[in-house]
Chains A and B, each alone.
Chain A
Amino acid sequence: MKAPTRPSPLEALDTTDERLVLRRGALGSLANALARIRSGDIGTLPIIVGIVLVWALFGILNPVFVSSTNLGNLLVQSASEGIIALGIVLVLLVGEIDLSVGSMAGVGSSILGVGFVVHGWPLSATVAVVLAAGAVVGLAYGLVFIHFQVPSFVITMAGLLALLGLQLVLVGQTGSINIPFSSSIVRFMEKDVLPHLVSYVAAAAIAAGYAGVSWARARRRARAALSSRSVASILVPSVALLAGLEFACWYVNRAGGVSDAFVVFAALVAVMDFLLRRTHWGRAVYAVGGSREAARRAGINVTAVYLSVFLLCAMFASLGGMFLAGWLGASSTEAGTGNVNLDAIAAAVIGGTSLFGGRGSAYSALLGVAVIQSIANGLDLLNLSSAQQFMITGGVLLIAVIVDSISQRARRAHGRA
């Protein structure tokens, strides 16, 4: 017990309990972080350690892995899977699952091929139709789930088959519709990058935005007589964020640059994170995930919450399918099949979103997909067959789930289950 209650001229309302161990200043924050990790509140730590390990390992095995070109590619490859994983995060947060995201992505990709290429629809109209298709499917899942109380994994498994059939019908006999290489969607996925200057300015803006939001919150809390972060404890991470992002931009800009598709994905993650943490809807999502019955009794519209997450998940999947089609340059019957489904779910779980609801964040899609795609990319560079890739990815997923389980045990032992 260091300095239990240091008398301070401005005692904040939330630090007056004599049993609180207060640690102040930069060293204090560090000590707090270590204490949290020991009690199993590990947050994003294992995933960051995981990414560093994976990159170090593949970098040693094949130095090409950590080259600017390859890391730039990694960003593009992450976009479509990441957007699908973002939808999975939402359904996992309410303790449900959507097993059909791969097929939904396949349908999104086929609609793009049929509408945009075969019928020559404008891209904006095609995007609208694809998103609407996702919305219809998600709404249907939600309504069946609410009205018939069928477990979501059964509903979406049925949906998986039905959507796979729809995808085969749409793409037709040929099995593949090539998207012209010069079309906007393919260029967007494969070529378009942020101009170098814009990438540096955007990185600076993100760091400044982080500092600004943190500072505004500290001001609001201080005004409400609550404890708030010191200027130093805001500035240090902000400067670190600035340095990290600028370095990353510089490194990737040496070759291709920061892909626009990845920027769209990252922006979606940031928007979803904001909605989940700061709005009534987000609070309701976590509440339903924590205890559906408690949320219902408290007057939360549980039905609307379920509908909204199934809807958003299917829409993200259909959007991810368009990205997939642009990246592959074709809408084929293969799009969205194979490991797309499980990779998206694995990414969300590896990123730290609990399979049991109520715990996780939008950023787990970003972090989880970084691990999954790094492994896939690294194994490709080592010329390993897809058989070996499957087995290794499976092993990584198992490790992630075990880490989650161990940290949950630590949380329980420290009363934070």
Chain B
Amino acid sequence: MHPNDGRATAATARPILALHGISKAFGAVQALRDVSLELWAGEVVALLGDNGAGKSTLVKILAGVYSPDAGAIEINGQPVSITSPADSRRHGLAIIYQDLALCENLDVVANLFLGRAEGRLLLAEESMERQSWALLRSLSAKIPSVRTPVASLSGGQRQTVAIARSLLGDPPIFVLDEPTAALGVAQTAEVLKMIRQLRDRGHGVIVITHNLADVRAVADRAVVLFLGRNNGIFDVREVPPETIVAAITGLNGHAKGQPAEASAGASTP
């Protein structure tokens, strides 16, 4: 039973993003083996796993940095191939890396419109500044001034700018790579609030994290990888954290032999 069935069937009965049987090997190392994942509009999926579980490889496949050796990617039910970062953007995926890729010497407006500045011959500064305020306000973001260089912002504020920037193209799918890893308590809360807002606007969000508190705070489902395989899909609200920890560390018994089958809230199509 899918937790979002009620909402999802109203629009389409298909997930906005589905990965089927994704495998990727680097030489002798099988980084991903037959990994599947679904993301529905208006839900937050936490992608969990210990170091070396294959999370980053999976993100890079979504970002178009690596292409999978086997498996299929479907967007809104349509099979797609993502072979470059441009492909990934075109298919409506916004990937926000841990390093955020901001230009610290430029102000917030210039960063939000990096690579897509407005204006025919000259930069349309006023229009961009206006849209920046509207955008940040719609996220209830706390940025004191959009004309200060990004270098003067806190870590949470920078994360906000990075998320707001990817919102400009209005992509349906967000993939956030460890968005709270370097943040303090208040800043983490700010970013988690932002993720909830993305969900409430009907975006699908995949959050990669190590932090189970974050998972409980924002995620609807948790997809656990262990040594490159699926090791359970959990409904975060129904499953105790110990079960998820057991899946992350491979102590739940599933990882040994057969492909993992979720213990609770499983959603395999």
Contact = CB atoms under 8 A, between A and B. Distances in A.
**Are A and B physically bound partners?**
yes
Nearest to A411: B151
Nearest to A19: B144
Interface string A275-304: 000111001001101110111011110000
Nearest to A219: B126
Contact of B146 (A14, A286, A289, A358): A14
A161 interface: no
Interface string A7-28: 0000001100101100000000
A224 B142 CA distance: 21
A279 B151 CA distance: 22
A300 B119 contact: no
A17 B144 contact: yes
A295 B123 CA distance: 17
B103 A225 contact: no
Contact of A14 (B101, B105, B129): B129
Nearest to A280: B117
Nearest to A221: B126
B244 to A, nearest CB: 32
A210 to B, nearest CB: 17
B105 A359 contact: yes
Contacts of B149: 416
Contact of B119 (A280, A359, A416): A280
A220 interface: yes
B110 A287 contact: yes
B77 to A, nearest CB: 28
Contacts of A295: 103, 114-115
Interface string B24-65: 000000000000000000000000000000000000000000
A411 B152 CA distance: 9
Given A280-B117, A299-B116, A417-B151, A14 B133 contact: yes
Between A226, A286, A298, A300, the greatest number of chain B beta carbons within 10 A of the residue's beta carbon is seen for A298
Contact of A290 (B106, B147, B148): B106
B182 interface: no
A294 B100 CA distance: 8
A225 B114 contact: no
A299 B115 contact: yes
B143 interface: yes
B152 A286 contact: no
Contacts of B105: 286, 289-290, 357-359
A224 B106 contact: no
Given A278-B122, A280-B123, A294 B151 contact: no
B120 to A, nearest CB: 9
Contact of A416 (B100, B103, B147, B151): B151
A385 to B, nearest CB: 41
Nearest to B134: A13
A290 B126 CA distance: 22
A220 B148 CA distance: 20
B121 interface: yes
Contacts of A290: 103-106
Contacts of B119: 280
B215 interface: no
Interface in A92-144: none
Interface in B191-248: none
A300 B51 CA distance: 33
B146 A224 contact: no
Contact of A224 (B86, B102, B123, B129): B129
Contacts of A359: 105
B130 A225 contact: yes
B250 interface: no
Nearest to A301: B115
B145 interface: yes
B92 interface: no
A359 B123 CA distance: 19
A137 to B, nearest CB: 28
Interface in A200-229: 220-221, 223-226
A300 B116 CA distance: 8
B127 interface: yes
A357 B103 CA distance: 11
Contact of B123 (A19, A278, A297): A278
A14 B110 CA distance: 15
A414 B123 contact: no
B130 A13 contact: yes
Interface in A359-417: 359, 411, 414-417
A14 B129 CA distance: 8
Contacts of B142: 17, 19
Nearest to B149: A416
B145 A283 contact: no
A224 B148 CA distance: 19
A179 B217 CA distance: 79
Interface string A300-327: 1000000000000000000000000000
Given A14-B147, A300-B114, A414 B130 contact: no
Interface string A58-77: 00000000000000000000
A317 B212 CA distance: 59
A12 to B, nearest CB: 10
A226 B126 contact: yes
Contacts of B115: 287, 295, 298-300
12 contacts: A20-B144, A224-B130, A283-B106, A287-B106, A287-B110, A290-B105, A295-B103, A358-B105, A358-B106, A415-B151, A415-B152, A417-B151
Given A283-B106, A299-B86, 5 more contacts: A20-B145, A226-B126, A287-B114, A290-B106, A294-B102
Interface of B: 85-86, 100-106, 110, 114-117, 119, 121-123, 126-127, 129-130, 133, 142-149, 151-153
Interface of A: 13-14, 17, 19-20, 220-221, 223-226, 278-280, 283, 286-287, 289-291, 293-295, 297-300, 357-359, 411, 414-417
The 10 A-B pairs with the shortest beta carbon distances in the complex, nearest first, are A298-B115, A290-B103, A358-B105, A290-B105, A299-B115, A294-B101, A224-B126, A298-B114, A415-B152, A416-B152
